């Protein structure tokens, strides 16, 4: 059966011409490939033996610098609340302490209202009927007071020094 298919290709004039054309095209591809191989090998060898240039070092330094900045970036977008421009609340509240946690929903604060003992609150808790804790930051709380954002900062008394420290060693 195979002979019946191949025989006309070899016995007719068009069959012989098409066979010769196929052999010529295959031979041309083979010759081009054999000529190209040494050039490819040579360029590959040169690229592996080439010394490292100084131009690669600044790129590596830039990459390292970008990687070091990652913890400070807002990978999932910045908060819509800008804490620097918010007014400080006029409510009779005092922020006693902040416990910042990851995730933010686990953070808590201790807030004293109108001179009362402090209570522990989390994000979303209500302090009064129209006052809700919107966000807890490491240095304060963002409050939503009747639809307006306000900041309740953590008050930090300034450090005062009372002269040079005294030695704790005996005899000095």
φ, ψ for residue 2, nearest 5 deg? -65, -35
- This prediction's pTM: 0.45
Residue 154, classified by CB atoms within 10 Å of its CB into exposed (0-12), middle (13-18) or buried (19+), is middle
Task: Please list the alpha-helical segments (H only) found in the chain.
Answer: 2-11, 13-49, 56-69
Where the chain has pLDDT below 50, the residues are none
Longest dimension (CA), the chain: 120
pLDDT for position 1: 67
pLDDT recorded at residue 28? 95
Per-residue confidence (pLDDT) for residue 80, from 0 to 100? 52
- Identify whether 103 is preceded by a cis peptide bond (ω within 30 of 0): yes
């Amino acid at each position: 059966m195979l002979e019946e298919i191949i025989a006309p290709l070899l016995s007719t004039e068009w069959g012989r011409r098409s066979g010769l054309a196929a052999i010529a095209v295959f031979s041309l591809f083979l010759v081009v490939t054999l000529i190209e191989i040494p050039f490819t090998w040579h360029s590959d060898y040169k690229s592996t033996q080439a010394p490292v240039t100084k131009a690669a070092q600044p790129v590596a330094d830039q990459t390292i610098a970008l990687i070091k900045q990652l913890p400070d970036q807002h990978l999932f977008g910045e908060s819509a609340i800008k804490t620097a421009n918010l007014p400080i609340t006029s409510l009779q509240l005092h922020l006693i302490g902040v416990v910042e946690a990851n995730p933010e929903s686990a953070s808590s604060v201790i807030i004293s209202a109108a001179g009362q003992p402090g209570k522990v609150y989390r994000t979303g808790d209500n302090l009064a009927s129209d006052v809700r804790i919107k966000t807890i930051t490491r240095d304060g709380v963002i409050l939503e007071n009747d639809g307006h954002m306000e900041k309740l900062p953590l008050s930090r008394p300034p450090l005062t020094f009372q002269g040079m420290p005294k030695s704790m060693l005996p005899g000095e």
